[in-house]
Structures are given as C-alpha cells and as structure tokens.
Amino acid sequence: MFRKVFVVGSGMSNVGRFYERPLRDLAGEALFKAIDDASNVVPEFIVVSNMLSSQAEQENLASLVADYCGLRGTSGFKVEAACGSGGAALVAGYALISSGLANVVAVVGVEKLSERTTPEVARGLAYAADADFEIPYGISFSGLNALIMRYYMNKYNVGRDDMSAWPILMHENGYYNPYAHLKMKITAEDVVKSPIIADPIRLLDSCPMSDGAAAVILASEEVAKKYNDTPVLIAGIGNALDSTDISSRFELDSFLASRLSAERAFKMAKLSPKDVDVAELHDAYSINGVITLEDVGFAPKGMGAKLVAEGRFKPGDKPSVNPSGGLKSRGHPVGATGVYQVCEVVMQLRGDFPGVKVGGEVGLTQNIGGVGSNITTIILRR
Amino acid sequence: MFRKVFVVGSGMSNVGRFYERPLRDLAGEALFKAIDDASNVVPEFIVVSNMLSSQAEQENLASLVADYCGLRGTSGFKVEAACGSGGAALVAGYALISSGLANVVAVVGVEKLSERTTPEVARGLAYAADADFEIPYGISFSGLNALIMRYYMNKYNVGRDDMSAWPILMHENGYYNPYAHLKMKITAEDVVKSPIIADPIRLLDSCPMSDGAAAVILASEEVAKKYNDTPVLIAGIGNALDSTDISSRFELDSFLASRLSAERAFKMAKLSPKDVDVAELHDAYSINGVITLEDVGFAPKGMGAKLVAEGRFKPGDKPSVNPSGGLKSRGHPVGATGVYQVCEVVMQLRGDFPGVKVGGEVGLTQNIGGVGSNITTIILRR
C-alpha cells in the first residue's frame, strides 16, 4: 500500500426499472455526476462493473461507456464478480492508483436487467452459482439462500418476527432515500402475508431486481484535494473468495469470505468493528443482512436478527446499518450495488446524503457476489 | 509505478477443441503448471480473464477457478475486455502487486467455446461490438474486419499475395509449437483457394475458434527471485480504449488504441520499437497482424504486408514476430489469448519455449479486444 487513495467524486442514477433507457445512458448519468462532483476531472482509467450485460448481447463495456462519455483514448476494463462486481472493481481501481499506474480512476457500476424477462434474469443470477454441479439440480439463487435461512433460524432458534425486523428497518430507512427503488414502509404482518419465494424466504425478505448505475472517482493523495474539498480516504480494502457452490461449504450460517474480507480491511485500516459509525451491508435477502452483521463483527453469532428486533442498528446507533435502505429498499442493480454502497457511505461521511443522515467519521461497505463466494469489504474515513 | 513486477511462472494448456473438458479443468491445468514453474508458490490474488463463459451460464469465475485449485480464502475477480481480456487482466494483476496489495498474483486466462455451436460463438464474439448501433444491421465480427481489410488494401495498393504472406509465416512458425491449434504449413495458393468468410477475408486469413487456458504468476521485486531463478520483468504496460463501433472512427487503417497503448508501454519501459527482439501480435485476421505491425512501430504505414512478403519478421529477424504462430496457427482462446502471448514471450526470453526459439532480451505482446477497442501492450525484459 504505497499511496493513499481517496474518493473525490460520487454519482448515482435512481434505482428502478428503466425499460426505455440504454445501459450506456444509465452509466453515463452516474459517471457525469461523479465527474461533476470531482471538479470536472478527466479520469485516466475507467473500471466498469457489471454482471449480466451478456444477456443483452453486449460485452466490452469499458470501451462502450468510455466512448459514450467522450473518453476515447483513456484506459480501462470490466470487472465481474457476480453481485459483488462493484466491490471487486473498487479493488482494481484502488490498485491502479496506489500502484502509480494512474492518478485518477473512475469506477462505474451499471446493470440493466429490465430488458430481459424475470425468468431470464433469475436464470442469469444463477450464473453466480455452479453451472455444472449445482444449478442443474433445479435450484435457484433464492433457493440457495432459503437453505441458509432455514438452517440459521433452526440452529439459533430465531423466529419469523425476528427475521422480519430486518426488512422493516430497511424500508423505514429507504423510504427517505430519493434514489431508492422501493419507497414504502412495511409491517411484520405485511412480511408474513407476502408470498413465499423459496420457503422460508418471502417476497418481503427479497431485494427487487433493479436497473441503475453508480460511479465514484478515485484519486491519489497527491491530487485528491485538487478535485474535492472533502476527499474521503479508503482506509482499508479487502476481498476474499469462497467456493461458488454451497454444497461443499464447511458451514452454512456464516460466510468465510465475509469474515476474511472484513478482517483484511480492518487490518489495513488499523480499525475494528466498534470504530464503525455507518455501514452498508449486502442484504439481497434478510438472511444475508443478518449473517453479515455477525461476520463483520457487529453482532455475536446467532444474535444478528434478535438485535435488529431489539432495535439496534437504527439511524443514530453505532453503527447505523443501511441508512440507504439497503438492497431491500434502495434496490439491487447487481453489478452496480457495491459502487452504490460506497457512494452512500461517502455522502454520509461528508454529510450530504439526501436521505436519512447519520454522519460519522468511519464507514464500512460490504458487497457480496454469489452465495458468499466473492466478497469485498471497504473501510472509508473522513 | 512504485514496485517492479516480475513474471515468475507460466503455464499453458494445449489450444484446440476440447469438448469433453470443463472450463475449470482447462484453467486448472494452466494454473497448476504456472504454480509449479514458480516453485509451488501460493498466490494471494487470482485474476481470471474470460469473455464468453456466460454463454455456458457460468460467471463468477474467480471463485470457480480458485476453489477448483484449492485456493479458497484467496482474493480475486474476473476481468473482461472482449478478446483483449487477457491483456487487461495483466494490467489489473500488475497494479495489485505494484500497489502493495499483494506480493504474488496469478493471472489465469481461460476460454471454452466448444460447448456452443459455431453460430452461437460467432454471435457471442459480436458482443465485443456495439449491440445497439452496429450488430442489428447484421454485420458479424468477421464482416467488420473485412471492411478494414478492403479499405487498407485499396488505400495502400496491397495485393492478395502480399496479404497472404502473413498467414503463411504464421503457419510456418506455429507448425513447431506443441501447444498450437492448427499445425499445418500453407501456401499462397492454399489461401486463395480457401473459402471466403467475409470478402476479402478468406478462411486462411482467419484464426480458429479455440478452447484453452494460460496462466502467469506475477511477483513483486522483493520476492521474485525466491520463486524463479530467471524472473522476467514487466518493464512497461499500457492499455487504451477506442469506441466499440467502427462507424464512428476517424480512421479505418490504423487502431488509435494500438498506437496509444504501445506508446504508453514504451514510455514506461524507456524503450522503443527498435529495441524489441521478439513480439507476439494479435492477428485474429491477417489484416489485424499487418495493421498492428505498423501501429506498434515495426513497419511504416502501409508497408506491413509488403515487408512480411519481402521476408521480414521471420525467426531471427529483429523483431521476430509471432514465433508461436500467432492467433492464426496457435489459435485464439478468446479471453486467454493475451495471457498465452505473455507466456510465450517469457519463455522465449528465458530460452525454454518448446517451439521455434528466437531468444532475445526485450519482448512485446499486444492483445486486442473488439475491433481495436480495448488494447493492451506489454513489454517484457529478461
């Protein structure tokens, strides 16, 4: 780690279903906002994160986005790590600057799912699992997470209402986020009345399938102040891999890659979970939010859901968790989600997030690809 | 550029059509060979390059390959830049080490096309072009390159036999490469008798559709000697982007991204084209080989094909070009090609390439994604 790296610009499109907007248009909106936020700097590298543009027969997105934004002649590539693509792209962006290969890098996460039917997208999301040894048995991505939720609830004697506390908190927070996909408040009764997706996962345990794009501009310590009066330091960044399939895992109620990536990020930042003021965790399903509360170190094992039900992790608590509304309410534009999280935490630390404001000095994001198979944790510091 | 980066291990699978071998098996063969070549080091990061595994409904390849090779708990992600994925992944791998985030990184390029039919793969390769504004008109990837070949031949008054000198030289070299896909010698008469793919491109102007995997182990200067007695320095590395479509280009007979990426790599290495002893260029079609000879600086504009026809660039010339046989004969396992090129040049500089040996001190690779839209040039030094 030879050169410190700062976030000097952030930009997001709304999250939702934008049938009429091409992928490049969403990416361009986010990138132009981020460039504008960074005093109109011209990035030297563009790292694009995306998972499923192949379903719309488009790859080579770094060229596509760079050209659309008037940046021919810059450098770049796409990073893919399933739903964890955004976090992984930030690792690449960090390395490009810290190595000295570039002074200013744009990381642009973008996903456009609404061009495809819901069954097509559900099938696409399963590309994150094992196509040879897992998916042929007919299980979906929701089904895999349902196995984990059932196992966790049974092992730790966690009831339905305790699990429901997570999505209720998410919708309470996301209701005030102008970028959020699902702006509505929900009750425990709403959750149990919502349809079963893959037992015990119900519709209101699940994030929506979203379109959206988010971008950050990263800059080296030498130039960061030139582009933003309030640069936010990437104090720690860690990534870890686990198997794509869950059948060969040693444990189902915890993600090895979540623990390892968080350990790596905290070690690099010389900080610990108790230092974190605000966190954005990856709650594609309620169970993911709950498990990662524990794996990151915010809750003892088996206590994640119970603590949320007791009222912990609300805005103003330490840490506040998912003031954006998380994947559940803000939405989950797959390859862009990890970049949204960083935009949101950066804005919280700067004090200009347009939804629920929680402030603080230290923030954390954790972005999950697959069923815990590729996870990136980032620690940000004002 | 804070820390020097060396190649301390390389490994390749044969290039060909391996219907019966899963993608992870090809990747594992290359990675294990590279790890073996690097004194059995355990890499901390795995960067996988691939373009079209989505056609076989598999993404999240960093987790897949790491798990298959017993490397759970390491870090990683996939890089995609169409046919230029391998070169782009090497940029990411370089940055991870030079930044201090890792000391040892494996870059694994892999492509398995033979699971799909030829029309499906042809359609997949077109994902590298513009899915909204170019492909809907019905043009294929071969068609786009045919437009360039026709324009070039007309503008510089280059005849069919001059163009045929390229594939003849490639097959002459590749005949001796034990890893090559197409081991056969050809004549000018064979070329003109071969079927037209997209006029003026004939079958023998075109690379085959190949499966294959190649891997390199990169290490920081502090540890490189521990893993290999003959580490090869990455003296320069440059990437550049151009538009995905060719209809909006300012020129058709030269690739902006080829020139820019080569300039960046030479500048970083403090070397020039006349210093290069051996080069591996990206000849998906004869015209790509010829144009990049000129763009990299080995031939004056319009003279590439004519110089090859006059006998330049053969083994022993300075530079020797594509002693591996290039994409034309070694083959083009799309996302792996850029990593094959680096393996081949590293082995040439070390003196242990098992085909035509040309030796030398300075080598160059250039890997092209799309129709010149994402290009990486790497300069290697013994």
Predicted ipTM of the assembly = 0.97
User: pLDDT > 70: what percent of chain B?
Assistant: 100
Query: Quick one: DSSP state of residue A245?
Result: S
Closest chain B residue by Cα to residue A127: B58
Is A88 in Cβ contact with B92 (below 8 Å)?
no
Annotated active-site residue A332? The verdict is: yes
Average pLDDT on A166-174 reads 98
Mean pLDDT of the residues in chain B: 97
- Chain B residues within an 8 Å CB radius of A67: 241-245, 248, 373
Average pLDDT on B350-360 reads 97
At residue B317, what are phi and psi to the nearest 5 degrees? -75, 170
Is B82 in Cβ contact with A59 (below 8 Å)?
yes
* From B171, B282, B332, B343, the catalytic residue: B332
d(CA A268, CA B238): 29
Question: Which is nearest to A59 in space by CA: B347, B252, B334, B10?
Answer: B334
* From A171, A181, A282, A332, the catalytic residue: A332
At residue B85, what are phi and psi to the nearest 5 degrees? -60, -40
Q: Who among B55, B57, B242 is closest to A72 (CB)?
A: B242
Shortest distance between the Cα of B43 and any Cα of chain A, in A, equals 13
Tens of pLDDT along A198-225? 999 999 999 999 999 999 999 999 999 9
The answer to whether A226 and A341 are in contact (CB under 8 A) is: no
The single residue listed with the structure tokens 């029309």 is B119
Distance of CA B179 to the CA centre of its chain: 14
The answer to whether B283 and B324 are in contact (CB under 8 A) is: no
Shortest distance between the Cα of A175 and any Cα of chain B, in A, equals 32
Average pLDDT on A34-63 reads 97
- Chain A residues within an 8 Å CB radius of B3: 2, 99
CB pairs under 8 A between A and B: 250
Average pLDDT on A51-62 reads 96
Tens of pLDDT along A221-244? 999 999 999 999 999 999 999 999
Tens of pLDDT along A305-333? 999 999 999 999 999 999 999 999 999 99
- Chain A residues within an 8 Å CB radius of B130: 58, 64
d(CA A156, CA B134): 55
- Chain B residues within an 8 Å CB radius of A369: 60, 63
d(CA A8, CA A38): 5
**A96, two tokens:** 């490009």
In one-letter notation, the amino acid at residue B382 is R
At residue B2, what are phi and psi to the nearest 5 degrees? -95, -20
Question: Which is nearest to B206 in space by CA: B236, B186, B224, B178?
Answer: B186
CB neighbourhood size of B136 (10 A): 10
d(CA A345, CA A90): 14
Annotated active-site residue A343? The verdict is: no
pTM: 0.98
Rounded to the nearest 10 degrees, the angle between the axes of helix A256-269 and helix A286-296 is 40
d(CA A62, CA A54): 14
d(CA B291, CA B254): 6
Q: What pLDDT score was predicted for residue B115?
A: 87
Interface-testing mutation among A52, A115, A241, A250, with chain B (most B C-beta atoms within 10 A):
A241
Average pLDDT on A131-146 reads 93
- Chain A residues within an 8 Å CB radius of B369: 60, 63
Is A131 in Cβ contact with B73 (below 8 Å)?
no
Query: Quick one: DSSP state of residue A242?
Result: -
Split at pLDDT 50, 70, 90, the class of B1 is low
In one-letter notation, the amino acid at residue A101 is L
In order, the DSSP letters of A117-172 are -HHHHHHHHGGGS-TTTTGGGT--HHHHHHHHHHHHHHHTT--HHHHHHHHHHHHH
- Give the DSSP H/E element, type plus range, for residue B215: strand B212-220
CA atoms within 13 A on the CB side of B282: 34
Q: What pLDDT score was predicted for residue A1?
A: 56
The answer to whether B198 and B140 are in contact (CB under 8 A) is: yes
Is A239 in Cβ contact with B76 (below 8 Å)?
yes
Average pLDDT on A160-184 reads 98
